Amino acid sequence: MCHTIITEEKHGQVVYNASSPDELALVNFAKFVGAEFVGIDEENHMEISIKGKRLRYQLLHVLEFNSTRKRMSVIVKNPDGQIVLYTKGADTVLFERMSKNE
């Protein structure tokens, strides 16, 4: 499974490397507002710190971005055991897939 965000520690700070500028901007902004991506282990468990509270999500599958889909999605198991799909992509593609009352 491909991991597109890599964490390293430099001078006591967590620094991110990402496969795209968009992904790097997203994780840096999330960290700025208090949701920090800590890392991922060999068993695909991602650790996230939200305002100091550590949560673990299991990464189940990555649907990589491509020019046809114009979006990227991940399927994870959240700390409550629920399976959740998270998607990022072009507004026009995402809006046309939403129901009218969302």
Q: 88 with 74: CB under 8 angstroms?
A: no
**Structure tokens belonging to residue 54:** 């550590």
Per-residue pLDDT tens over the stretch 5-21: 677 777 777 788 887 78
Measured in degrees and rounded to the nearest 5, phi and psi for residue 6 equal -120, 135
Tokens 């500028």 appear where? 21
- Per-residue model confidence (pLDDT) at position 76: 96
Q: Is 101 inside any structural domain?
A: no
What is the total count of domains within the chain?
A: 1
Q: Is 73 inside any structural domain?
A: yes
Q: Is 88 inside any structural domain?
A: yes
Q: 72 with 63: CB under 8 angstroms?
A: yes
- Give this prediction's pTM: 0.74
- Per-residue model confidence (pLDDT) at position 1: 41
Helix H or strand E segment including 21: helix 21-32
- Per-residue model confidence (pLDDT) at position 102: 59
Tokens 């990589």 appear where? 64
Per-residue pLDDT tens over the stretch 49-68: 999 899 999 999 999 888 88
Question: Which domain, by its residues, includes 24?
Answer: 5-95
Q: Is 102 inside any structural domain?
A: no
- Per-residue model confidence (pLDDT) at position 33: 94
**Structure tokens belonging to residue 60:** 């189940």
Confidence of residue 2 (pLDDT cuts 50, 70, 90): very low
Q: Is 100 inside any structural domain?
A: no
CB-based burial of residue 35 (10 Å sphere; 0-12 exposed, 13-18 middle, 19+ buried)?
A: middle
Query: Which segment of 5-9, 16-20, 32-36, 78-82 scores lowest on mean pLDDT?
Result: 5-9
- Per-residue model confidence (pLDDT) at position 14: 75
